Amino acid sequence: MRKNIVAGNWKMNKTLQEGIVLAKELNEALANEKPKCDVIICTPFIHLASITPLVDPNKIGVGAENCADKESGAFTGEVSAAMVASTGAKYVILGHSERRAYYGENVEILKSKVKLALANGLIPIFCVGEVLAEREANKQNVVVSAQLESVFDLSVEDFSKLILAYEPVWAIGTGKTATPAQAEEIHAFIRSAVAKRYGKAIAENTSILYGGSCKATNAKELFANPDVDGGLIGGAALKADSFKGIIDAFNA
């Protein structure tokens, strides 16, 4: 079944102590209610083992922001999917535009990461999205289609475990949000691409999140679109009250 999801991406923010405080605050904020969406927090690697036991697993899932494209071995500084899973984390963000832009992650590297994540029982939150020049040239569908190639060679069974996130790069951390109409248009396109590859039933069951300057004030409007199933949240996930405000968009 397609799920509504609000996932936070902490990026390279918060010391371990600060992260623990934030996770506890969020857990507390959700203590007396059942959120009407799945809630996920994706944290720096070193926070995972400390934070997973602190949150109610029935309300908050924990994920990493990345994992290695190799299984194990002499890859100094890398963190494998198996290591992420061993902390109790259940999710991993893959293909974030910052990883693509600053660390050269391409279709092939991301194919390996997605496969290793799935092989280790993690659910990838797989991100796609165009830069401003591509949007201005009306190339967003072509760009997103090419990025989806990293996941379109998966079996139906594996693909159906994924969460997709559309994140226009021009909206990430810029305060500039896609309009609800822009978001719906490309989310519908992504769903149609999934339907073409895996069939309508799988496409209908795939959660596609929007990311890019999403906050409590615009979340409700964005999530009201039929093909927008929630959000991947950066800046507004760094405070419990602003993140909770976005989760509440599904209550309103």
d(C-alpha 139, C-alpha 14), whole Å: 36
Measure the CA–CA gap between 108 and 249, rounded to whole angstroms: 36
What torsion, rounded to 10 degrees, do the Cα atoms 6, 69, 192, 186 define? 60
- Pinpoint the alpha helices (H) of 149-248: 156-159, 180-198, 200-205, 216-223, 240-247
> What are the catalytic residues?
96, 167
Give 18 or 204: the residue with its C-beta nearer to ligand PEP.
Answer: 18
The one-letter amino acid at 11: K
Q: In the complex with ligand PEP, which residue's Cβ is closer, 198 or 244?
A: 244
Binding footprint of ligand PEP on the chain (CB under 6 A): 9, 167, 172-173, 211-214, 232-236
Report the first-to-last Cα separation within the chain, whole angstroms: 22
Q: Which helix (H) or strand (E) holds 38?
A: strand 38-43
- Report the nearest approach of ligand PEP to the CB of residue 167 (Å): 5
CA separation for the pair 224, 10 (Å, rounded): 25
* Nearer Cβ to ligand PEP (198/223): 223
State in angstroms the smallest separation of the CB of 171 from ligand PEP: 6
Nearer to ligand PEP, 92 or 236 (CB): 236
Least distance in angstroms from the C-beta of 216 to ligand PEP: 12
Shortest Å, Cβ 231 to ligand PEP: 8
